[in-house]
Amino acid sequence: MHLRVVSWNVDSRPTGLLDAKVELLRQIQPDLAVLQEISRSVYRALLPHPLAHERMHRKPRVFSWGTLSTDLCQPRGDEHRLGCAVLGVAGTALLTSQVLDRAPFEVSEPVRQGFLWRTVAARVALANGTQLTACSFQARRSSSPSSALRRAFHAGIAGWLAGVPGPVIFGIDAGVPSGGPREDPLLGPGADHNLADVLDRYLDQHPEELKLIRAERPDGPLAISRYVAKEPVRHDHLWATPDLAVLDVQYRYDEGVAAGSDHALIVTDFEI
């Protein structure tokens, strides 16, 4: 079975282009979307929701179901709180969803509550009968005091993932990994879970493409997901368990920016 997954920090600031975001996702036609930094208004427009703008009801819905972290949290996030979401099309079904309130985050309140807004996990049934877990996470922004909190956030997610049976996918806006990518408890080689970066897996299978990337950007990154101080970086990742075969991976930065975000969409095709 073919499965298309998109991970995207949609950047739901007031200046964002709501219609352009919805139309871009419609054109890409993902089966599942794991989205970060999404407001309730954008989330409603994608389903659509009865409270969405009237013009959204005149078009076929992009997704058939969804789950939003700020709806699942206790207390529920307000209308302006940005969260994470998992959405799916007809032919997939939402079984259960949760924020990671049982993850081993070694922080106290109110920091823990701030972590939960940045997490959502959904158990999903596919048309072929397979069940998988799809997750969306967003790391804290970079600053000196928050680097330790970001590490605690990543370590808690990694500890939770270690106990989740496959297949599993997660999309994350990771920011700058604490201590560098190789020392990060979620994205580094010593992580407790068995997921791997889909781009790394794809390039391992296509060394000729890796060679071209290295020639164009010898100092990296392997793909451009955004620019920081005019420098290209890859802060956005999609990871998956080995039982999901990676067919293709695309970082669509220009399209993401044209739709009002400052992040690339990661579009990945799997065979399951």
pLDDT tens, position by position, 117-169: 999 999 999 999 999 999 999 987 655 457 788 888 999 999 999 999 999 99
CB atoms within 10 A of CB 80: 11
Q: Quote the CA–CA distance of 206 and 98 in Å, as a whole number.
A: 36
Core vs surface per residue 216-230: b (16+ CB within 10 A) or e: eeeeeebbbbbeeee
Copy the structure tokens of residue 193.
């879970």
Q: Enumerate residues 6+ apart whose C-beta is below 8 A from 73.
A: 83, 99, 113, 116, 117
Helical segments of 47-143, H only: 69-72, 111-116
- The pLDDT of 186-215, averaged and rounded, is 96
CA dist 149 to 155, 170, 209, Å?
10, 20, 36
Helical axes 198-205 vs 207-216, angle rounded to 10° = 110
Q: Enumerate residues 6+ apart whose C-beta is below 8 A from 239.
A: 169, 170, 171, 172, 187, 195, 196, 197, 198
Q: Is the pLDDT at 65 greater than 60, yes or no?
A: yes
Angle ∠(19,123,200) on CA atoms, nearest 5: 75
HSE of 135, CA atoms in CB hemisphere, 13 A: 29
Q: What is the pTM of this model?
A: 0.93
105 in Cβ contact with 121 (< 8 Å): no
CA dist 138 to 37, 82, 212, Å?
7, 10, 30
Q: Which of 26-40, 136-150, 184-198 has the lowest mean pLDDT?
A: 136-150
Q: Is the pLDDT at 52 greater than 60, yes or no?
A: no
90 in Cβ contact with 66 (< 8 Å): no
Q: Quote the CA–CA distance of 12 and 61 in Å, as a whole number.
A: 19
Q: Quote the CA–CA distance of 56 and 62 in Å, as a whole number.
A: 10
The pLDDT value recorded for residue 97 is 98
CA dist 44 to 19, 54, 60, Å?
12, 11, 13
Q: 98 has which bridge partners?
A: 121
Angle ∠(177,181,186) on CA atoms, nearest 5: 70
Digit-coded pLDDT (tens) for 66-103 = 999 999 998 898 888 899 999 999 999 999 999 999 89
User: To the nearest 5 percent, what fractions of the chain are helix, strand and coil?
Assistant: 30, 30, 40
